[in-house]
Amino acid sequence: MSYIALLALFPISASAEESKASKESEKPKRVQTVADILEQPGVLTPKGSFVLDTSLSYTQNSSNSVSVVGYTVLPSLIVGLIRASDIDRTTLTFGLTGRYGITNRLEVEARIPWVYRTDSISERDLNSGSNAATLRTVDGNDIGDIEAAFKYQINMKEAPYWIGSLRFKSTTGKSPYDVPINSLNDFEELPTGSGFPSIEPGITMIMPIDPAVIFMNFSYIWNIKDDVEVDINITDDDDNTENIRVDTIDLGDTIAFSAGMGFAVNPKFSFSLGLSHKTILKSKINGTTASDAKLLQLDSLSFGANYAIDRDTTINVGATAGITADAPDFQLSVRIPYTLK
**pLDDT band for position 132 (cuts 50, 70, 90):** low
What is the C-alpha R_g of the chain?
Answer: 25
The Cα 270–Cα 315 span in angstroms is 11
CA 231 to mean position of chain CA atoms: 30
What was the pLDDT predicted at 158?
87
Residue 186 confidence (pLDDT)? 79
Q: How far apart are CA 229 and CA 232, in angstroms?
A: 10
- Distance, CA of 126 to CA of 128 (rounded, Å): 6
Please report, for residues 111, 113, 316, the alpha-carbon distance to residue 55 in angstroms, rounded to integers and kept in the order given: 10, 9, 9
Domain boundaries, the chain: 4-26+34-248+280-292+303-340
Q: What pLDDT is attached to residue 135? A: 82
pLDDT digits (tens, 9 = 90+) for 226-283: 888 765 555 555 666 656 666 888 989 999 999 999 999 998 999 999 999 999 999 9
**pLDDT reading at 55 higher than 60:** yes
What's the one-letter identity of residue 55? S
CATH class label, 4-26+34-248+280-292+303-340: mainly beta
Phi, psi of 17 (to 5 degrees): -65, -40
- Is residue 204 over pLDDT 80? yes
Distance CA 42, CA 40 (A): 7
State pLDDT tens for residues 93-103.
999 999 999 99
Give pLDDT, residue 48. Answer: 93
The H or E element containing residue 317 is strand 314-322
The distance from CA 41 to its chain's CA centroid, rounded to whole angstroms, is: 28
Cα-based torsion angle of the residue sequence 27, 29, 35, 38 in order, rounded to the nearest 10 degrees: 90
Strand pairing class (284-285; 239-250): antiparallel
- The residues near 160 (Cβ < 8 Å, ≥ 6 apart) are 205, 206, 207
Helices (H) and strands (E) in the chain, counts: 2, 17
Cis peptide preceding 211, ω within 30 of 0: yes
Q: What is the pLDDT of residue 5?
A: 42
DSSP letter, residue 102: S
Tell me the β-bridge partners of 61: 89
> What's the pLDDT tens digit per position in 77-90?
444 455 667 789 99
